[in-house]
Structure 1
């Protein structure tokens, strides 16, 4: 199965000119399909020790994971935001992520407090894929989820008055395709 390049919303890179024909019925996405999509989005990725795909940015990393069996299989895009928050800031952080979760569909964001008292954020979106999904729906969802993960990071910087690292781009959008 292959992805029609024209079906990928513009993610900042050049849109491929060639047209490919893909399946017209439901497909059950797999890791190879996600790799193809990430390649076409010009995003760098690695496969971790557990076999999951991960696209790293400077302040976060996004994982593309398949869980479950057969008809109950779920595809999850989970973003781990690396910026630590102090336990004393947790109330303000929770207010901000509650506001985000009320206003947006994805990623749904939650907090995790580590043993050392630092609070980190995790964003997640999921899709049941075991019985098959439309390829167009899958592609547009994954692209939207990746974009929303980036937008959440920028939004949190604005909400909490955090400063981006000096190495960040002028618009604050670091891409996994940067070297």
Structure 2
């Protein structure tokens, strides 16, 4: 049986490179993979046997406080149907609501490399899959298409 390892940021960088994902290291030293509508962080927290590895995705689309009930119904459905990421809402002081997805694993005591790699890959794919799922669930396809058209340069000049 293979030995357990304690994963580190270098291993995550290797995984992201193998997945052909671009990444940056933020001011706090966390790895982040940016997409157009969200960014996914790969973070290590805690020490020793209590160390936790977390894949946390911050979705950029803002919702109004009046949309919160529908959002909660949708993310409850997602959380019942899927193992990861578990998605929750965050209401900012200005009343805007954003969504965050998170998956975690205790790693301080060591984990098997194959299990860790397959978990990170699955968590990342699921974090990416959530955004289009929610767009479809909320019927926002037309809004998203319109926003994309608004961002395209005008070639008629």
Verify same fold: TM over 0.5: yes
User: In the alignment, what sits opposite 1:6?
Assistant: none
SS at match of 2:76: helix
The offset of 1:157, in angstroms, is 0.3
User: In the alignment, what sits opposite 1:127?
Assistant: 105
Q: Is 2:21 the counterpart of 1:39?
A: no
User: In the alignment, what sits opposite 2:121?
Assistant: 143
Match of 2:55 among 77, 89, 102: 77
Query: How many residue pairs are counted as aligned between the two chains?
Result: 145
| TM score, norm. by length of structure 1 | 0.79
In structure 2, C-alpha distance between the alignment counterparts of 1:138 and 1:28, rounded to whole Å = 10
User: In the alignment, what sits opposite 1:158?
Assistant: 136
Match of 2:76 among 90, 98, 110: 98
Structure 1 segment 102-113 matched on structure 2, within 5 A? 102-113=80-91
Moved over 3 A (4+): none
SS at match of 2:20: coil
Q: Which structure has more helix as a fraction of its residues? A: 2
Runs (5+) with no aligned partner, structure 1: 1-22, 168-179
Q: How large is the Cα RMSD of the aligned pairs?
A: 1.2
User: In the alignment, what sits opposite 1:5?
Assistant: none
Runs (5+) with no aligned partner, structure 2: 150-157
In structure 2, C-alpha distance between the alignment counterparts of 1:137 and 1:147, rounded to whole Å = 15
